[in-house]
Amino acid sequence: MTETLVQVQKLAMDFPGQKLFNNLSFDVDRRDFLSIIGENGVGKTTLIRALLNQVKPTSGSIKFRKGTKVGYVPQFRNIERDYPLSIRDFVALNLQNGKMPWLSKMERTQLDEILEETDLVDIQNTRIGRASGGQKQKAYLAQALVDNPDLLILDESTASLDTVRKYELFNLVQHFNQQHDLTVISVTHDFDLMQRYSNRYLMLKEDHYALGEVADIKNEEDLLDV
């Protein structure tokens, strides 16, 4: 039986000179892989910020199932070449339950496991500032997942990657989705990525939206017509 993790009801956001989401309503169930797709400026990132509780909607509501933990991989992160932390230390930043400065044995195990599963063990002591774009995105993913979230939100996480790295990253996300019951919301304007990995889509347009099963969409034109 399906278990609803997020319930968005009649969401609307008013900005000076612009109204976003005309009463947007949708559910996200556990193990869903939902792609949010749409042109620039239709409010994809704003929707994510609302889901992350960083902006308040003008009307409507967003409800999470009690105890839902959220992980987030942002589109952009300010990691420069001289950024000092190793990939391992960077991933460990998200371990926030312990109070002591050092990690507990359990936390170290958690960290080892996620580095293993995201294929970062060999480069865990590399400075993240010196890692390649693909390695960086994997490290961001590992950081978001080290705390075992129920829901992962990806905001255009592949925008800077070539096709091979893009698939590599999303294969990993798919692995967690299928093997660890991770629910995924992925913002993208990459049709191919949506079709390959997600089971549901939310198409945002300026004045309306469409929600459906990815299996019903054969090509990009179908999506533009909905």
Tell the smallest beta-carbon distance from residue 72 to another protein (Å).
4
Under the criterion CB under 8 A, does residue 52 sit at the interface with another protein? yes
Asked if residue 168 lies in contact with residue 132, where contact means CB atoms within 8 angstroms, the answer is no
Under the criterion CB under 8 A, does residue 130 sit at the interface with another protein? yes
Torsion region of 122: left, alpha or beta (phi above 0 gives left; psi -120 to 50 gives alpha)? alpha
Of 143, 177, 183, 188, the one binding another protein (CB under 8 A) is 143
Nearer to another protein, 13 or 131 (CB): 131
Residues 162 to 221 in contact with another protein, rule: CB under 8 A: none
Under the criterion CB under 8 A, does residue 160 sit at the interface with another protein? no
What is the residue-wise DSSP string for 197-221? H-SEEEEE-SS-EEEEEGGG--SHH
Under the criterion CB under 8 A, does residue 54 sit at the interface with another protein? yes
Under the criterion CB under 8 A, does residue 125 sit at the interface with another protein? yes
State how far the alpha carbon of 119 is from the alpha carbons of 112, 135, 179, 185, in Å: 11, 9, 16, 22
- SS in 3 state form for 42-109? CCHHHHHHHHCCCCCCCEEEEEECCCCCEEEECCCCCCCCCCCCEHHHHHHCCCCCCCCCCCCHHHHH
Under the criterion CB under 8 A, does residue 56 sit at the interface with another protein? no
Please name the amino acid found at residue 155.
D
Nearer to another protein, 44 or 88 (CB): 88
Compute how many residues bind another protein; rule: CB under 8 A. 29
Residues 77 to 116 in contact with another protein, rule: CB under 8 A: 77-78, 82, 84-86, 88-90, 93-96, 98-102
Please name the amino acid found at residue 89.
D
List residues binding another protein (CB under 8 A): 52-54, 70, 72, 74, 77-78, 82, 84-86, 88-90, 93-96, 98-102, 125, 127, 130, 143-144
